[in-house]
Chains A and B, each alone.
Chain A
Amino acid sequence: MNYQILLLQLLPEAVLVFTALVLLGVSVGVESKRSRPVTPRLTIGIATAGIVLAFVALLREPAQAGSGTPLVAMDLLARVGKGLALALGLLAVWLPPARGESRNVGEFHALMLFALAGLLLAAGTNHLLFLFVSLELASLSLYLLVGFPRTAKAAEASMKYFLFGAVSAAFMWFGLSLLYGFSQSAMLPVIGAKLGADPGSLLAMAGLLMFLAGIGFKLAAAPFHYWAPDVYQGGPATSVALVSAASKLVGIVVLVRVLSLGFQAAAGSADWGNMTAGWSLWLAVLAAVSMIFGNLLALAQTSMRRLLAYSAVANTGYLLTAVVANGSKSSGAALFHVVVYGLATLGALAVTAAVERERGDDRITSFAGLIHRSPFQAVCLLVFLASLAGIPPLAGFFGKFAIFSSVLAESTREGNPGLVWLVGLGAVLSAASLYYYLTVIKQAFVFQSGQSDSGRLPASHALCIGVAALALVLLGLCPTMISASIARAVGSLMP
């Protein structure tokens, strides 16, 4: 093996890990020398520099095919997925820790970079063991990030996240052991070839089912979503932003890669009247349950963070709908929508964090009169929630529209009803979701509130909100900015 090529293959991740170590060193050094802790401003600056450098490293042309280690895939999907994950991760880093939560902020940002490195590695590999190890690197960092403030709420959220996550990791690992027994290999193309010769093997199907249960947890698909509301409510906004945006994006990239490279032969069908066992049927059930549960439970929420958590479950339903169709157009639509969703939910969380700074809690009624207190936050909140609800001309509309139209086009050939049932369900529930997004907007724009001290937001907090809102508007006006490269990336993987 040529170690120079290996280093080039892993340069973005290496940069992230190196920056994390620098952060740890700086925070220890500053603390011992000046006997006062580092400021969030410094650590956010260092982490930003690391992520930007990693992005530059990613832009290098990949090494020649066939050189270096086969563990790291250098295909277009890997590079696009890594780039988008870095962008969403950068926005999450800009969201500063809340007042009183900025203890050991250097360690906090170092953990964020470790989690990001794990997510990047997971997005670019065809090897199941490598995938599992990278996902664990990301997950273990995220458990700690959620519990970082060491308050009773954060600790409880972190413990629930950890216990659910560890069980799902055990499921995934057991599934992988069955897949290894089936194919004597952990490389996805090898598994795909073996499965093509022996479709419907019980061993492989059981392995795949358990693997999907593990991924379903990562994506917060119902019925594996029980951790999500508690984590969203109890964890620091910064960690939740990373969980909801970058981690979900990588989950979809992994799902598309694993299913298209390894399990085409076990797709089955979820078409109406023609259902056959296989991952497309299983995922269709998950998608339907997620959309129903997520949207209906979101209606009843009084806490903004819990509302966003259930909206995350509902959006996982839309994303899985796209994956079920098993075509390159719909998978591309899923990737586009997960980016747009990530931007919108990250921005909404950032505004929620800003409201919490002022009002001390995240109840929806605390948003009352936001337009008078801070027009900037209120307008951005409008952009985020309108995008989540799918109102044109914002990017969220194009994301949902691309999913529903491509799924219909790909599944309804020659007059068979295909996935119309799933798309119809999604469209109806998506219309219902307007209600709960609009209640928040109504609070912010229509109701009055008493005066309160509106201390200025830290610059990076405002930057995070502003950039996310701007990106949503621009992607709505010109979706091809990223959808073209996503389409090419997915097209290189599936015909």
Chain B
Amino acid sequence: MNPLALLLTLSSVMFALGLLAVLTRRNAILILVGIELMLNAANINFIAFWRYGPPDLEMAGPIFVLFSIAIAAAEAAVGLAIILMVFRLRRTTDLNQLDSLHG
């Protein structure tokens, strides 16, 4: 197996595991962890395609990953702030118990 295929397999498995966590976990913080895993799987893709693909003089791959890390940090900050607010108001972060909105 060449390194690119190996890395793409790794990233796909990571993405799938992240998605699995998002779908099965009911705790908002653990869902956030799953989302981080999905974002980082994409980061592996960018670096792998840049390193083993045709030459890319613009260094686009690594630059994208730098942006992605910054965005993931901002997203975690906003997300944790929202989750904290929910916990203060409702004393739970379990999605099954957060069902006050309905028709």
The interface residues of chain B lying within 8 Å CB-to-CB of A102 are none
The interface residues of chain B lying within 8 Å CB-to-CB of A186 are 60, 64
Closest B residue, CB atoms, query A300 = B103
Closest A residue, CB atoms, query B83 = A159
A136 CA to B75 CA in the complex, in Å? 8
* B6 CB to nearest A CB, Å: 14
From the candidates A129, A160, A163, name the one contacting B67 in the complex (CB within 8 A). Answer: A129
From the candidates B45, B58, B85, B95, name the one contacting A178 in the complex (CB within 8 A). Answer: B45
> Cβ of B1 < 8 Å from any Cβ of A?
no
Known: A133-B67, A150-B85, A181-B49. A140 touches B74 (CB 8 A): yes
Interface residue tally for chain A (C-beta within 8 Å)? 44
**A-facing mask of B75-103, CB < 8 A → 1, else 0?**
10011011101100110000100101101
Known: A163-B31, A166-B32. A152 touches B54 (CB 8 A): no
Chain A stretch 125-148: residues in CB contact (< 8 A) with chain B? 129, 132-133, 136, 140, 143-144, 147
> Cβ of B71 < 8 Å from any Cβ of A?
yes
Interface residue tally for chain B (C-beta within 8 Å)? 45
A151 CA to B101 CA in the complex, in Å? 12
From the candidates B42, B58, B74, B98, name the one contacting A170 in the complex (CB within 8 A). Answer: B42
Among A12-20, A23-31, A228-236, A366-374, the stretch that binds chain B is A228-236
Known: A159-B98, A162-B78. A306 touches B103 (CB 8 A): yes
From the candidates B61, B89, B95, B98, name the one contacting A180 in the complex (CB within 8 A). Answer: B61
Q: Tell me whether B75 and A173 are in contact (CB under 8 A).
A: no
The interface residues of chain A lying within 8 Å CB-to-CB of B18 are 170
A176 CA to B42 CA in the complex, in Å? 8
The interface residues of chain A lying within 8 Å CB-to-CB of B61 are 180
* B19 CB to nearest A CB, Å: 8
From the candidates B41, B64, B67, B79, name the one contacting A174 in the complex (CB within 8 A). Answer: B41
> Cβ of B39 < 8 Å from any Cβ of A?
yes
* A171 CB to nearest B CB, Å: 8
Chain A stretch 218-244: residues in CB contact (< 8 A) with chain B? 229-230, 233-234
> Cβ of A169 < 8 Å from any Cβ of B?
yes
Closest A residue, CB atoms, query B23 = A167
> Cβ of B28 < 8 Å from any Cβ of A?
yes
> Cβ of A483 < 8 Å from any Cβ of B?
no
A151 CA to B90 CA in the complex, in Å? 10
A160 CA to B83 CA in the complex, in Å? 10
From the candidates B15, B54, B78, B98, name the one contacting A184 in the complex (CB within 8 A). Answer: B54
A144 CA to B48 CA in the complex, in Å? 34
A162 CA to B42 CA in the complex, in Å? 19
> Cβ of B53 < 8 Å from any Cβ of A?
yes
Closest A residue, CB atoms, query B56 = A184
Q: Tell me whether B45 and A159 are in contact (CB under 8 A).
A: no
Closest B residue, CB atoms, query A232 = B101
> Cβ of A264 < 8 Å from any Cβ of B?
no
Closest A residue, CB atoms, query B18 = A170
From the candidates A167, A173, A233, name the one contacting B101 in the complex (CB within 8 A). Answer: A233
Closest B residue, CB atoms, query A230 = B101
From the candidates B45, B71, B86, name the one contacting A156 in the complex (CB within 8 A). Answer: B86
> Cβ of A301 < 8 Å from any Cβ of B?
yes
From the candidates B22, B53, B78, B89, name the one contacting A155 in the complex (CB within 8 A). Answer: B89
Q: Tell me whether A229 and B45 are in contact (CB under 8 A).
A: no
> Cβ of A302 < 8 Å from any Cβ of B?
yes
Closest B residue, CB atoms, query A174 = B42
From the candidates B38, B85, B95, name the one contacting A147 in the complex (CB within 8 A). Answer: B85
Which of B19, B71, B86, B101 gathers the greatest number of chain A CB atoms within 10 Å? B101
The interface residues of chain B lying within 8 Å CB-to-CB of A157 are 101
Closest B residue, CB atoms, query A157 = B101
* B25 CB to nearest A CB, Å: 11
The interface residues of chain B lying within 8 Å CB-to-CB of A174 are 15, 38, 41-42, 45
A166 CA to B22 CA in the complex, in Å? 10
Closest B residue, CB atoms, query A143 = B78
> Cβ of A449 < 8 Å from any Cβ of B?
no
A157 CA to B86 CA in the complex, in Å? 10
> Cβ of A303 < 8 Å from any Cβ of B?
yes
> Cβ of A158 < 8 Å from any Cβ of B?
yes
> Cβ of A357 < 8 Å from any Cβ of B?
no
Which of B49, B64, B103 gathers the greatest number of chain A CB atoms within 10 Å? B103
Closest A residue, CB atoms, query B65 = A177
Which of A136, A186, A229, A233 gathers the greatest number of chain B CB atoms within 10 Å? A136
The interface residues of chain B lying within 8 Å CB-to-CB of A184 are 49, 53-54, 56, 60
From the candidates B28, B79, B89, B98, name the one contacting A151 in the complex (CB within 8 A). Answer: B89
From the candidates B28, B39, B83, B100, name the one contacting A173 in the complex (CB within 8 A). Answer: B39
**A-facing mask of B26-49, CB < 8 A → 1, else 0?**
001001100100110111011011
The interface residues of chain A lying within 8 Å CB-to-CB of B43 are 177
Known: A150-B89, A181-B53, A184-B53. A162 touches B82 (CB 8 A): yes
9 A/B residue pairs, CB under 8 Å, sorted by A:
A129-B67, A150-B89, A156-B98, A157-B101, A167-B38, A170-B15, A170-B18, A174-B15, A184-B53
Q: 5 more A-B contacts (CB under 8 A) besides A140-B74, A180-B60?
A: A162-B78, A170-B18, A173-B38, A174-B41, A174-B42
